[in-house]
Amino acid sequence: MANTGSKKTVDIRFFIFYTKNKYSEQTFWRGIIMTFIKNNSYILLLIVLCMGFSIIGVTKSGKEQNLTEITIMEGDTLWGLALHHAENMPKEQWMKEVMRLNELATVTIKTGEDLLLPTARTMEDSQNITQLAGDNR
């Protein structure tokens, strides 16, 4: 009977130890994580900065716009230029962009005037840049 009593004592102690540690397991992991953050904050800062600059770079490169400057000839209209130069952009939106770039109040353009026109960046442009930057062997 003495063995049975000690066995119950061990079981109760194990139960108390298990339940105590079961609830403190989250605290244990929080402590490890917080210690890691405290000891390696510079690494985490570096990672966050790299991710931030990457996101900014991707966002900025998607919004890059190439511009072409042309001189208006006799008979040119903004709509006619839109038909010729606005590739994947709706014509009305392209005309509004031209008006914004050139600070035009109306769609009326004059012969001899220089206008900036937005152009789409194509894969050929990117390949030419790469080819010019690389070795031609």
Sequence-ordered list of residues with C-beta below 8 angstroms from that of 79, at least 6 positions apart, any chain: 91, 95, 107
Residue whose tokens read 């014509």: 91
- Are 67 and 119 in contact by the 8 Å Cβ rule? The answer is yes
Q: Whole-model pTM?
A: 0.44
Q: Write the pLDDT tens digit of every residue in 26-49.
A: 677 778 888 888 888 888 899 999
Q: Write the pLDDT tens digit of every residue in 45-60.
A: 999 999 998 888 877 6
Residues of the chain with pLDDT under 50: 1-2, 5-6, 123-126
The pair of structure tokens assigned to 124 is: 């050929």
Looking at residue 1, its pLDDT comes to: 46
The pair of structure tokens assigned to 10 is: 């061990």
The pair of structure tokens assigned to 41 is: 């904050």
Looking at residue 123, its pLDDT comes to: 46
The pair of structure tokens assigned to 83 is: 């038909």
